[in-house]
Chain A
Amino acid sequence: GAVVSQHPSWVICKSGTSVKIECRSLDFQATTMFWYRQFPKQSLMLMATSNEGSKATYEQGVEKDKFLINHASLTLSTLTVTSAHPEDSSFYICSASRKSNSPLHFGNGTRLTVT
């Protein structure tokens, strides 16, 4: 069964509004979670590494003020897309591993459409 749960699975919002996406590890504690983004027919691009109890680590080119990450507990990380614009429309996927150096498990992703 699923080990990483992501919510919502899809969301449509108006330009200028903010959207929060939740990622939960279901039966294990994840000190680290990863947020990816995928454009159509493209690879999964790592956006940031979410660290429980500390600041997230963002990849080059990803605006930390635009994509706010909070990892307040060992089973929950949230990604907030602030002041969303149509170019933010994409498929956002979170992931976590049960333990260090084991395969990542992914959530089912969130399809964000900004109108």
Chain B
Amino acid sequence: DQQVKQNSPSLSVQEGRISILNCDYTNSMFDYFLWYKKYPAEGPTFLISISSIKDKNEDGRFTVFLNKSAKHLSLHIVPSQPGDSAVYFCAARLTGANSKLTFGKGITLSVRP
């Protein structure tokens, strides 16, 4: 049973435009959400996170939005750059789970020059 879902396997965006990556979850006990970026043959790199007590967190070009009632979060990248092309994983953590994360399947973002 997939508790963290990234339903779109891929997204293609023109350089300079906004990339919106979506993630849904089913477990209401998740209290912390993270986005990781992954290049082929490398481990994931932490990008940005958000606590369940917030609905928005911004870091430079990256903003994560959380809608708890809808159990939905999204990562916005603006402006998108070719170097952003990678696989993006959404991850969630249960309350008190000592950093143990549940990951979505990832979405492949391609930013066209």
Contact = CB atoms under 8 A, between A and B. Distances in A.
Interface in A9-60: 9-10, 32, 34, 36, 41-46, 49
B54 to A, nearest CB: 15
Contacts of B49: 103
Interface residues on B, range: 20 to 34
A41 B9 CA distance: 9
Interface residues of A, number: 29
A43 B43 contact: no
B45 A111 contact: no
Interface stretch (A65-73, A80-88, A93-101): A93-101
A109 B43 contact: yes
A97 B99 contact: yes
Interface of B: 2, 4, 9, 32, 34, 36, 41-46, 49, 89, 98-106
Nearest to A103: B46
A6 B43 contact: yes
A36 B102 CA distance: 10
Nearest to A57: B100
A62 B22 CA distance: 30
Given A32-B99, A100-B98, A104-B46, A43 B104 contact: yes
Interface of A: 4, 6, 9-10, 32, 34, 36, 41-46, 49, 91, 93, 95, 97, 100-109, 111
Contact of A46 (B98, B100, B104, B105): B100
A30 to B, nearest CB: 10
A57 to B, nearest CB: 9
Contacts of A36: 103
11 contacts: A9-B41, A32-B99, A43-B4, A43-B103, A43-B106, A44-B44, A44-B89, A49-B100, A93-B44, A106-B43, A106-B44
Nearest to A45: B103
Contacts of A95: 43
B12 to A, nearest CB: 17
